[in-house]
Amino acid sequence: MSSTAPEDQEPQPRRRLPREERHRQLMDVAWRLVREEGTEALTLGRLAEQAGVTKPVVYDHFGTRAGLLAALYRDFDARQNALMDSALQAGEPTLAGRAGVIASAYVDCVLAQGREIPGVIAALASSPELEQVRRDCEAAFMDKCRAVLSPFAGPGAIAPAGLRAMLGAAEALSAAAANGELTAGEAQAELTETIVAMVARTRG
C-alpha cells in the first residue's frame, strides 16, 4: 500500500490578501499589540510574527517603526473625523448641538481606543517627524472645528488661541475619562460647555 498522502491533505499555500485588506489586517494586529503589550513592544518584527506574515511584507507597508506609529495615529484621526462627520449630519444645527457633536466625537474616539492611543501619542514625541504628524492632524481638526462653529461666531471670529485651548481641554478631559477619573458623560458635558463659551466670547 502506498504511503503517499492524498493531494487534498497537503499543506495549502497561504492566501495572499489584496494590499488594502493586508494593510487593514496589519493595523488591527498593531492596535491589539499596543493594547495588550504596550507601545514599547510594537516593532515591525513583532507585528509580522503576530500577523503571520514575513518581515518584508510589514516593511513594505510601513517602512520603519516610525512609519507604523504615524500610520496608527492617522488611523485614529480618520476614525475620529468619520465619527464627527456622521454625527454632524444627524445632529441639531445649533451652537450647542455642534459643540456637543465635537465633544462626543472626540471623547468617544479616545475611549474606543482605550489605553492604546495615549501610548501612541506619547511615542509620537520621540522624533520631530512623528511630532509633525500629530501637529498636522491637530491643525486639520482645529480647522474643521472652526468651519463647523464659525456660523455661530460673532464679528470677532474664532481665534487660534481659543481653538488651541479647546483642543487642550479635549485631550485632558478625554484622558480623565479614559483612566476613570470622569465618566464619558461628564467629560463630554464639560467639553461642550468649554466650546460654547469659546464661541460666545467672539460675540463680545
Question: Which tens digit of pLDDT belongs to each residue from 166-191?
Answer: 999 999 999 899 889 999 999 999 99
Q: 91, 100 in Cβ contact below 8 A?
A: yes
What span, in angstroms and rounded, lies between the C-alpha atoms of 185 and 29? 30
Place of cell 507601545: 39
Give the pLDDT score at 119. Answer: 80
- Percent of the chain at pLDDT > 70 equals 91
Q: 55, 44 in Cβ contact below 8 A?
A: yes
What span, in angstroms and rounded, lies between the C-alpha atoms of 178 and 115? 7
CATH entry 1.10.3720.10 includes domain 17-63: no
Give the pLDDT score at 153. Answer: 92
Give the pLDDT score at 6. Answer: 45
pLDDT under 50 in the chain at which residues? 1-13
Q: 150, 199 in Cβ contact below 8 A?
A: no
Q: 155, 201 in Cβ contact below 8 A?
A: no
Give the pLDDT score at 14. Answer: 52
Cell of 38: 504596550
Distances (CA, A) of 138 to 74, 91, 157, 163, 171: 11, 23, 19, 10, 11
User: C-alpha dihedral over 165, 200, 176, 40, to 10 degrees?
Assistant: -40
What span, in angstroms and rounded, lies between the C-alpha atoms of 158 and 83? 23
Give the pLDDT score at 29. Answer: 94
Question: Which tens digit of pLDDT belongs to each residue from 33-56?
Answer: 988 888 888 999 999 999 999 999
| CA end-to-end span of the chain | 95
Q: 121, 76 in Cβ contact below 8 A?
A: no
170 by DSSP, 3-state: which? Answer: helix
- The predicted model scores a pTM of 0.77
Cell of 196: 460654547
Give the pLDDT score at 4. Answer: 46
Q: 67, 152 in Cβ contact below 8 A?
A: no
